[in-house]
Amino acid sequence: MNNNTKTAKDASFFHTAGVLIQAAKEWTSIVENFPYGLAALIFYYMLYQSELVPQWLSVWGLLGGALLIAMGLLRMFGKPVIFLAIPILLNELVLAVWLIVLGFNSSTIAFSIVGLLFITALVSSMLSGVFAGSLDDTDYVTVVSAKGNKVLVGVLLQLTLTASVVAIPVVMFPILSEYNESLALGYVGARIFEGFCDALMAISMLLLLTLSREYVKAGTPVVEINGNELV
């Protein structure tokens, strides 16, 4: 096997591995929309029924949850309608402020914690995309390695999101179970599944960073075979 053939195979391996990891990350992101949306529907339905918050806030959350599920379905067919997530994100921000300032009843500490967790989840989700933005670069196999520290911060923020998503239903369960224990358990299960998806995305980010570092370490150059470029 000559050096050109070996180099081409090395480049092909890194390219294929990267494509597979990127695809897994994208599909995990799509799947996450469903437990997130379902959890929102359960949560805001319970808030609406119990009247723990103003009903306009609950209706807003129900609409946001439905749009989130619709977004997941559309993304499955290649339509990146990310703007459909805006209503639920804004709703959670308003809800978080409401919980911190007013709460539901005398359990102000618990509701302040939930409000802070909602804000932590929103902020860490947005910042994770900013710091790990190089993962979406067309030449990510070479670019990510050079921005490794930023990607690691993005991974840490993604894990912070995971922890926040799982912690919210755990803190809320004792309160929600007073109104409907079965739905409260459904809410916990949906958000844990959502957190599992977030954790998988963090793992895929680390795998892409590792792949990029190994690619650069191997010194694999761009190779053309029959006019096709391998990167």
pLDDT in tens, 118-141: 999 999 999 998 898 878 777 777
Q: What does pTM read for this prediction?
A: 0.84
pLDDT class for 222, splitting at 50, 70, 90?
A: very low
H, E, C per residue of the chain: CCHHHHHHHHHHHHHHHHHHHHHHHHHHHHHHHHHHHHHHHHHHHHHHHHCCCCHHHHHHHHHHHHHHHHHHHHHHCCCCCHHHHHHHHHHHHHHHHHHHHCCCCCCHHHHHHHHHHHHHHHHHHHHHHHHCHHHHCCCHHHHHHHCHHHHHHHHHHHHHHHHHHHHHHHHHHHHHCCCCHHHHHHHHHHHHHHHHHHHHHHHHHHHHHHHHHHHHHHCCCCEEECCEEEC
Residue 209 has pLDDT above 70, yes or no: yes
**pLDDT of 182:** 95
Q: Between 181 and 142, where is the model more confident?
A: 181
**pLDDT of 167:** 96
| Mean pLDDT calculated for residue range 11-33 | 86
Encode pLDDT of 140-153 as tens digits: 777 778 888 898 99
| Mean pLDDT calculated for residue range 156-184 | 94
pLDDT class for 226, splitting at 50, 70, 90?
A: very low
pLDDT class for 231, splitting at 50, 70, 90?
A: very low
Q: Between 202 and 101, where is the model more confident?
A: 202
Residue 3 has pLDDT above 60, yes or no: no
**pLDDT of 228:** 43
